[in-house]
Amino acid sequence: MAVVAGACAPVAGANPVVPGHHPDPSILRTAGGWYATSTSNEWLPAFPVLRSRDLAHWRQVGSVLSVRPRWARNDFWAPELVRGGGRVLAYYAALGRNGRRCVAGASAARVAGPYRDHGPIVCSSVGEIDPLPVEDELHAPWLVWKRNGNSRGRPTPILAAPLAPGGMSLAGPPRELFRDGAAWERHNVEAPALIRHDGFTYLLYSAGHCCGRNCTYATGVARAPTLLGPWEKRSGPILRGGGGVRCAGHVGVTSARDGAPLLAYHAYVRGDPADRQMFIAPLRFDEEGWPTVGAALDVRAEPAPVTGWQWPAGPRPAFSATREVLALSGGTVARQIGTTRFTAETVLHVADRSAFPSLSVTGSQGNAVGIEMRASEFAAWRSVQGTRRTTGRLRLPPGRPAAGGGRVRLRLVAGDRVGVAVRVRGRWRRVGTRQPPPRWANGARIALSVAARHRTVRFEALAIRPR
């Protein structure tokens, strides 16, 4: 199904290389270009794999998890791609069905996949997240990660443990590298990334509160002669944001074609409270040997999102999509928009009046605003943390499409408020009052839903136009 994107000029000084929500990026350089992936939260396929030949034009070529692993529930966070043993290894964090938060791994013959999931490597009730596979100064494999102590009001350490052959289990107990302590870190250190320079091992890390309107995220660095330390932290962050972006962090390390180091990181663009977009910037070292981050690459990314349809973690809904039509038989599918200010329209082809199809904007599972077709009426609705209420109704005269099947057109306009409308007898009629946007937690997405199982609805000519 085609997504029509209008002009969407980037904010001056803020040019993400990939539009949309791509937090916690990992980036891997190969002979043919670069691959990137990022956090998926509750959406599947998890960890879409993107490819670029020039760091400016990206397209999705696969995903790490096409189905939910049996052991996992959701919260698919912070993937890291690396080559090892003739394979591509993907490390990630997820919430297990038993409530324990784990670091896990998967492998594939190709970066684009398909991947085989190998299950958890280390788990705890406190939470183990942000995995980073590295080699120490003797080229032995280790796993570095964060123990999520700040989620329980405890200290937050960065840990390291040796990896067993194959890279999918630990070969020894973890050792603490360093923990939170500086005032600017705000009781949190996470998202390690490693680079070596002039005899030192450097760990870049993020600190503060990552997300939302009140985020304080920034990136710092520590260095040591060996992986196990002793570690010396730089006195303040090396990356905060500015120039149209805020809360820059969770870096991934790669290199340009000439071998110069590059950082991928996420940040919010001014005016967009939902999407942590991906930037790339050069990394250099000052006279004292500390890394500094240059201005983000000015690539002028295309506005249309590059990832495909996803669905809430669980079984894949029965759907098929072409450029013009998405046929859905029960469940919800969604795709990124790349902005919180847009107009979306679709044409419903409904032969079954009990299917209850809807068009909505969602910021995370259980948080959405939309319009639903209910037999002989249309209902505007709002969902907050899974609690849904009707905010307006429009009944149609007998014999109209909503009462007897046929084609109807829906519209959703999002900005500071969200309004919905249906086209009846050649003119648009608003349904309900305009609502606040959904809680922006995991990016802005357009969602199509069919409430009744085994009822097929055709959504045609979906158009999404940034405003």
Looking at the fold, whether 224 and 104 belong to one and the same domain comes out as yes
Looking at the fold, whether 266 and 344 belong to one and the same domain comes out as no
User: Of 293, 320, 336, which one is at a domain's C-terminal end?
Assistant: 293
Separation between Cα atoms, residue 220 and residue 249, nearest integer Å:
9
Domain count, the chain: 2
Would residue 234 count as lying in a domain?
yes
Separation between Cα atoms, residue 176 and residue 157, nearest integer Å:
6
Dig out the tokens for 430 from the structure.
Answer: 């608003």
CATH of the domain at 346: 2.60.120.200
Separation between Cα atoms, residue 219 and residue 224, nearest integer Å:
17
Looking at the fold, whether 323 and 252 belong to one and the same domain comes out as no
Looking at the fold, whether 173 and 262 belong to one and the same domain comes out as yes
Separation between Cα atoms, residue 92 and residue 48, nearest integer Å:
13
Separation between Cα atoms, residue 412 and residue 371, nearest integer Å:
8
Looking at the fold, whether 142 and 276 belong to one and the same domain comes out as yes
- Is the Cβ–Cβ distance between 378 and 358 less than 8 Å? no
Would residue 411 count as lying in a domain?
yes
Would residue 13 count as lying in a domain?
no
Tens place of pLDDT per residue across the chain (467 aa): 544 433 232 233 447 888 899 999 999 999 999 999 999 999 999 999 999 999 989 999 999 999 999 999 999 999 999 998 899 999 999 999 999 999 999 999 999 999 999 999 999 999 999 999 999 999 999 999 999 999 999 999 999 999 999 999 999 999 999 999 999 999 999 999 999 999 999 999 999 999 998 999 999 999 999 999 999 999 999 999 888 899 999 999 999 999 999 999 999 998 899 999 999 999 999 999 999 999 998 876 566 678 999 999 999 999 999 989 999 999 999 999 989 999 999 998 776 668 999 999 999 989 999 999 987 899 999 999 999 999 999 997 665 554 445 688 999 999 999 999 999 778 899 999 999 999 999 999 999 999 988 889 999 999 999 98
Would residue 215 count as lying in a domain?
yes
Separation between Cα atoms, residue 357 and residue 105, nearest integer Å:
37
Domain that holds residue 429: 311-466
Residue 69's alpha-carbon distances to 1, 60, 95, 126, 140, in angstroms, are: 28, 21, 11, 21, 29
Beta bridge partners, 76, equal 41
Looking at the fold, whether 97 and 218 belong to one and the same domain comes out as yes
Separation between Cα atoms, residue 427 and residue 415, nearest integer Å:
22
Would residue 1 count as lying in a domain?
no
Looking at the fold, whether 282 and 344 belong to one and the same domain comes out as no
Would residue 11 count as lying in a domain?
no
Looking at the fold, whether 40 and 178 belong to one and the same domain comes out as yes
Would residue 299 count as lying in a domain?
no
Looking at the fold, whether 138 and 265 belong to one and the same domain comes out as yes
- Is the Cβ–Cβ distance between 362 and 40 less than 8 Å? no
Looking at the fold, whether 218 and 258 belong to one and the same domain comes out as yes
Nearest alpha-carbon partner for 222 in 306, 143, 290, 173: 290
Looking at the fold, whether 278 and 342 belong to one and the same domain comes out as no
Separation between Cα atoms, residue 408 and residue 421, nearest integer Å:
11
Looking at the fold, whether 185 and 326 belong to one and the same domain comes out as no
CATH of the domain at 31: 2.115.10.20
Convert 219-242 into a string of H (helix), E (strand) and C (coil): EEEEEECCCCCCCEECCCCCECEE
Would residue 127 count as lying in a domain?
yes
Beta bridge partners, 370, equal 360, 381
